[in-house]
Structure 1
Amino acid sequence: MSAPYPPSWYAASAAPLPEQPVLEGAVEADVCILGAGYTGLTAALELAEAGYSVVVVEAQRVGWGASGRNGGQAIVGYGCEQETLERLLGPDEARLLFDYSREAMDRLRGRIARHGIECDWRDGHAHVPIKPRQERALRAGIIEMAGRYDYPLEWWDRARLRQELASDRYLGAMYDSASGHLHPLEYCLGLARAALAAGVRIYEQSPVVELVHGAKPVLRTARGQATGEFAVLAGNAWLRGIAPELESRVMPVGTYIAATAPLGEEAARALIRNDMAVADVNWALDYFRLSRDHRLLFGGRASYSSYPPPNLCGVMRRRIRKVFPQLADVPIDYLWGGYVDISLNRAPHWGRMGNNVYYAQGFSGHGVATTGLAGRLVAEAIAGQSRRLDVFAKIPHAPFPGGRLLRMPLLVAAMAWYRLRDALW
């Protein structure tokens, strides 16, 4: 019997996937993939449909990491601003990457439809400002995205937002009808079912302890090994010693989500009438949406140390009350967290090590749609068409300063400054 998923509303409400076998002995395939989250499973599905034999090796259960615990918000773009990509790559390739992110959203919807994945997809996402400087930045961003990226966004003033959102906390909204939200674990399990049906072999409860480079890379576990012509590292925040040169360029960051008790359909719809997802634009942001059983799912309170915040339940209740004072007496039924991986510049870190080991990481809290893009581009590169992945590989990525011992304390100190800025400016 395998270890259970960490307790969450997602785990409690998802239709379970039958347990997959532990990797024992030696197996071979054209491609061996570490990690059964969105990136690894999308790459596996794309490769299997192209005729490759594929093995996926997962340390826990399918979707056990960020793919099964995240906020569920699927947003066009990346974890960094477009101006960061312009600075790093120039305007033409920054525009190309943005267009790829639009493709990622289209393919996400298409994958859900084609494979019949029941994951509660809902259209619509709003970024909401709390302070005037944030409102000015969002308004300028709408003009920028329309003029330079041909991407239409709507500005809602406070009165228009109040028609959809029962909160007085925000000054308006930048509304994106092309983005949306879903049940993250059900989406991941749906990808796994599609991959299994396409012939992918998935091994669970099989932590990889070593990557052996060579003409045929090997993923070794305590009880077996998988050998392929190619390997894909899709462990993100959970690589844990497998590839130190990659791990130094991402940092695991804890993020937390609360699910209230069911509010009832009428009360839930009164909170968010159009069922959109919402996120503020603070550095330490809040994000929230409704569940299919009419709970409020409310996330935030990121932790940049390896420990959850003290009195996390009390912290989350206070944050919910700031947005929705009318929920002051509603209990929290579920509270969970997990790690996402951030890069130093918040840009995606995708590419290749040598000739036959591919990786994708650094989704920086923006991975629900872009992980699928990463999986597809890795599959394209393995099939001999690396042009699109090569654009991402051009993005320079520095390691986090401080080395293994000091990089986390330095990040905690930096994040304290950003939280102070959110509060005072």
Structure 2
Amino acid sequence: MSSPSHVNSYYAASANDKALRPTLTGEHRCDVCIVGAGFTGISTALSLAEKGKKVIVLEGSRIGFGASGRNGGQIVNSFNRDIDYIFANYGDKIGQKMAKMAFAGSELIRHRVEKYQIDCDLKHGNLFAACNNKQFEELKAKKALWEAHGHNELELLDSNSIQEHIGSERYVGGLLDRKGGHIQPLNLVLGQANAFEALGGQIFEDSKVLRLEHGVPGKVITEQGVVVADKIVVAGNAYVFGLIPEVEKKAMPCGTQVIATEPLSKELQKQLLPTDRCVEDCNYLLDYYRLSGDGRLIYGGGTTYGARDPGKIEAIVVPKMLTTFPYLKDVKIDYAWTGNFLLTMMRMPQVGKIGENLYYAQGYSGHGVTNAHLMGEILSDAMDGDTERFDVFASMPQYPFPGGRMLRVPYTALGAVYYSLRDKLGI
């Protein structure tokens, strides 16, 4: 039987730690068992280990196999739905509490990178780029909104000043967030996994969970072993199936695709992104890009409903890249990959507890780098008795997609077509 492996991505090729952890065999006992070794699972595990808890993490494939090791690597603040939407739809009480958490995920990432000396090519600052005047007005409103809630490291850029950051004439303006940034995401999760193991934690790879047995304690059962735990966390996000169906029906896996060019010359890097910020545009089906630590352009965009082979990914993403940077037409593409993120109806994270001791967190809807790290700390606090932040998320209603599993994809694909048309028309 072959060992599990990551997809053939630039991140996997440049991973700092390629060691395969053991497969779970036999029976083990711990305080908390976590299903899933991505950002949510490893962030939760590390936070619990810092509190002195005995924690076991079970991963069906490899650490960071899912979205945590495949994403665009961008540290973007707030949630998919911004603070004003939360106030309008959930009220002032929840709005005030959520606003205090909107920028906490990026701060936690920086804290851990520094504390544990994680080598993940951390760079500071992200840009929101406006493709039309309507989007630019929305960025002005975002700046005012975030500043009203204490974020003062923002700079509005007009059509001239944005070209000091992006070598493209595509944009009418932008917003620079100095508290944002970018990283090699797989190395970030691997670095935290190493920190967790150094504190006594255990990670088992190639250990797919087959079922959960509820109770106190609960049991987590794999093909070759079982973990008996006082508390269980399901943190598989878009890559967990069948363990808690009542939660899985509330969200839908969606795919995105990414390419990485060959390493570029210093001159070309300076032409593309002179200040080395990462960028995402303001379209519904957005493009996002940045320079890697070794000078490649990593470019992603669009949404799919299922995996694609690398040739098709290039056919989708390269035209997007050339729309932004026409002068890259002769640049070689070294890697192309796809992966799933989890979308919720309200575009808000779904967090909750089932029975006395089964916790879950999922559905970051494209904001998983920061939100998943934050959620790990929140879950850890809740299991240690401090439920204040957990209760805020858990109190928010979680709606299933209409039509069940059969109709979720066509409904959402139809919505994507609608918003794509809006992007093109600038309305």
- Scaled to the shorter chain, the TM-score interval is over 0.9
Letter in 1 for 2:252: M
For 1:158-169, list aligned pairs within 5 A.
158-169=159-170
Query: Aligned-pair distance for 1:145?
Result: 2.3
- Deviation string, structure 1 residues 381-424 (Cα, Å, up to 9, x no partner): 11111111101111111001111111111111111111111112
Residue of structure 2 in register with 1:308 after alignment: 308
Give the TM-score of the pair, scaled to structure 2: 0.96
| Over 6 Å off, 4+ runs | none
Partner of 1:41: 42
Give 1:216 shift: 1.4
Residues 413 and 210 (structure 1), Cα distance of their counterparts in 2 relative to 1, 3 Å cut: same
How far did residue 72 of structure 1 move?
A: 0.5
> Are residue 132 (structure 1) and residue 128 (structure 2) matched?
no
Instruction: Describe the SS at the equivalent of 2:160.
Output: helix
In 2: Cα distance, 1:25 partner to 1:148 partner: 50
Change (3 A) 1:94 1:334: same
User: For the residues of structure 1 that align with 2:152 and 2:284, how far apart are their CA atoms?
Assistant: 24
How far does residue 79 in structure 1 lie from its aligned partner after superposition? 1.6
Alignment partner of 1:215 is 2:216: yes
Give runs of aligned pairs for residues 388-399 of structure 1, distance below 5 A: 388-399=389-400
Q: Over residues 108-144 of structure 1, what are the superposed CA-to-partner deviations in whole Å (9 max), with x where a residue is unaligned?
A: 1010011110000000011011111111111122222
Q: Give a deviation string over 1:25-67, Cα, whole Å, max 9, x none.
A: 2111010000011111111111112111111000001111111
State the match for 1:8 in structure 2. 9
- 2:231 is aligned with what amino acid? F
- Residue identity matched to 2:121: D
Which range moved further: 225-234 or 261-270?
A: 261-270
Cα deviation, residue 312, structure 1: 2.5
Contact 1:66/1:338 (<8 A) preserved: yes
Quote the Cα distance in structure 2 between the aligned partners of 1:258 and 1:306. 17
Matched, 1:82 2:83: yes
Using the alignment, how far apart are the partners of 1:96 and 1:153 within structure 2? Answer: 22
Q: Following TM superposition, by how much is the alpha carbon of 1:150 offset from its aligned partner in structure 2, in angstroms?
A: 4.9
Is 1:298 paired with 2:299?
Answer: yes
How much does 1:17 deviate?
3.8
1:57–1:179 CA distance, 2 compared to 1 (3 A): same
Listed one character per residue, the Cα deviations across residues 169-208 of structure 1 (whole Å, up to 9, x for unaligned) are 0011111001100000000110110011011111100111
Aligned to 2:376: 375
Asked if 1:145 corresponds to 2:146, the answer is yes
Distance 1:106 1:183 in 2: 17
List aligned pairs for 1:181-220, cutoff 5 A. Answer: 181-220=182-221
Q: 2:401 is matched with which residue?
A: 400
Q: Which amino acid aligns with 2:303?
A: A
1:192-250: CA deviation from partner (whole Å, max 9, x where unpaired)? 10011011111100111112111212111111111100000100001111111111111
Cα pair 2:313 2:338 within 8 Å, conserved: no
> 1:203/1:148 Cα in 2 relative to 1: closer, same or farther (>3 Å)?
closer
Unpaired runs of 5+ residues, structure 2, are none
The DSSP-based 3-state class of the residue aligned with 1:93 is helix
1:239 is aligned to 240
Shift of 1:103: 2.2
Deviation at 1:148, TM superposition (A): 4.9
- SS of match in other structure, 2:103: helix
2:388 corresponds in structure 1 to 387
Whether the aligned pair in 1 keeps the contact of 2:263 and 2:295 (CA below 8 Å) is: yes
- Whether the 8 Å CA contact 1:88–1:395 is kept in 2: the answer is no
Higher mean C-alpha deviation, range 96-105 or range 323-332:
96-105
CA contact (8 A) 2:99 2:149 kept: no
User: Partner letter of residue 119 of structure 1?
Assistant: C
Task: Give distance in 1, aligned partners of 2:72 and 2:355.
Answer: 34
User: What SS does the corresponding residue of 1:78 show, helix, strand or coil?
Assistant: coil
Shift of 1:146: 2.0
1:151 Cα deviation (Å)? 4.3
Structure 2: how far apart are the matches of 1:233 and 1:214?
A: 15
Q: Distance in 2 between matches of 1:269 and 1:249?
A: 44
Change over 3 Å in CA distance of 1:315–1:17 after alignment to 2: closer
Partner of 2:228: 227
Give the match's secondary structure for 2:180. strand
- Which residue type is aligned with residue 110 of structure 1? H
- C-alpha displacement at 1:98, in angstroms? 2.5
* Deviations 1:56-89, CA, capped at 9 Å, x for gaps: 0000011111111111101110122223311332
Calculate the aligned-residue CA RMSD, in Å: 1.4
Structure 1 unaligned residues grouped into runs of 5+: none
Distance 2:356 2:152 in 1: 36
**Residue 311 of structure 1: SS of its match in structure 2?**
helix
Counterpart CA distance in 1 for 2:57 and 2:323 is 43
1:108 and 2:112 correspond: no
Identical pairs, percent: 38
| Equivalent runs, 1:5-84 vs 2, <5 Å | 5-84=6-85
Contact 1:17–1:189 (Cα < 8 Å) also in 2: no
